[in-house]
Amino acid sequence: MLNKSMLQNMLFVLPSLLIYGVFLLAPLLFSIWASFTAWDGTSWPVFIGIQNFVRMFSDATFWTSIANNALLLLFYTLCPIVIGLALCSFLNDTRHHVERSMLRILFFLPYIMPMAVLGVVWRWLYNPAFGPIDQLLRAVGQPQLALAWLGDFNWALPAVGFVATWYFFGFCLVLFMAGLQRMDPSLLEAAELDGSSRRQKFMRITLPALKPEIRVALLLTVIAGIKSFDLVYVMTHGGPGTSTLVTNIYMYQQGFDLRHFGYASAVAIIGMVMVFILNGFIHLALRERR
């Protein structure tokens, strides 16, 4: 039986449960149900079973969006973590605490800005007519390198990915710096007395000690990479062609442009499954072994 204390505790949790149920759980359950229907958003949904998923897996455009998402994960996840680890090792060896703090704040600044705002700024920077990047290349005598970055089929995705790397590496850096602060400095001092090089200290002591922080960085950046929408939409709208089309933009086009809400829900469910699978793999690969 529930005693008075348990009822009071449930009463405290009830507002959060209501908010979660109304704004998260209910839309998720509705999306799962809608993914098995044909629905244009106005008429009553018609149940069609798994036809949306069959159509999706035979759709070349959907697989293009998956491939673009996979390439973007390199810029959202791998590059920021590698750069963050390299800068973390460099800043950790800096003796001046003021310089270290200033650099850490400077690198972290992009992360506090909304991605949509950064997308607008970088779209201007990439502008082939008056953007500072191409203007600088022409000024230094390299006009052949001045490209229509966001209009080029080969360079549009790397150009967007570079902005994502610039956005996330400061977050990874601050996360890894926080992890270094809990390390016992005597370990590094003992390794230095034993004649270990900087590379050996980093690979054998620092990197294993940062495993929890690396796992958090991987989880958050992988989720952001799979859910990428605002940055890509603001900068390229998925173009030119389908060169920067990702699953969330493909879902948006199917739902709000073509009014195929059932099919769009199926795409969203696949995106959610991808997040669960990759996060589960990360947890298994980097779990603490006792």
The three-state (H, E, C) secondary structure of the chain, written as one string: CCCHHHHHHHHHHHHHHHHHHHHHHHHHHHHHHHCCEECCCCCCCEECCCHHHHHHHCCHHHHHHHHHHHHHHHHHHHHHHHHHHHHHHHHHCCCCHHHHHHHHHHHHHHHHCCHHHHHHHHHHHCCCCCCHHHHHHHHCCCHHHCCCHHHCCCCHHHHHHHHHHHHHHHHHHHHHHHHHHCCCHHHHHHHHHCCCCHHHHHHHHHHHHCHHHHHHHHHHHHHHHHCCCHHHHHHCCCCCCCCCCCHHHHHHHHHHHCCCHHHHHHHHHHHHHHHHHHHHHHHHHCCCCC
What is the CB-side half-sphere exposure of residue 156 using CA atoms within 13 A?
21
Report the pLDDT value the prediction gives residue 194, as an integer from 0 to 100. Answer: 77
Report the pLDDT value the prediction gives residue 199, as an integer from 0 to 100. Answer: 81
Confidence class for position 258, pLDDT limits 50, 70, 90: very high
Select from 250, 271, 73, 244 the least CA-distant residue to 160. Answer: 244
Report the pLDDT value the prediction gives residue 289, as an integer from 0 to 100. Answer: 64
Q: For residue 240, give Cα distances in angstroms to 3, 52, 218, 237, 284.
A: 63, 26, 29, 8, 38
**pLDDT tens-digit map of 183-233:** 877 777 787 777 777 788 888 888 888 999 999 999 999 999 999 999 999
Q: Residue range 55-76: average pLDDT?
A: 96
pTM to 2 decimal places: 0.90
Report the pLDDT value the prediction gives residue 100, as an integer from 0 to 100. Answer: 80
Report the pLDDT value the prediction gives residue 95, as an integer from 0 to 100. Answer: 66
Q: Residue range 107-118: average pLDDT?
A: 93
Confidence class for position 236, pLDDT limits 50, 70, 90: very high
Confidence class for position 172, pLDDT limits 50, 70, 90: very high
Q: 194 φ, ψ to 5°?
A: -80, 0
Range of weakest confidence among 53-62, 179-188, 228-237: 179-188
Q: Which residues pair with 46 in a beta bridge?
A: 38
Q: Residue range 100-123: average pLDDT?
A: 91
Confidence class for position 92, pLDDT limits 50, 70, 90: confident
Report the pLDDT value the prediction gives residue 3, as an integer from 0 to 100. Answer: 65
Confidence class for position 1, pLDDT limits 50, 70, 90: low
Q: Which two tokens stand for residue 171?
A: 């977050």
Report the pLDDT value the prediction gives residue 2, as an integer from 0 to 100. Answer: 56
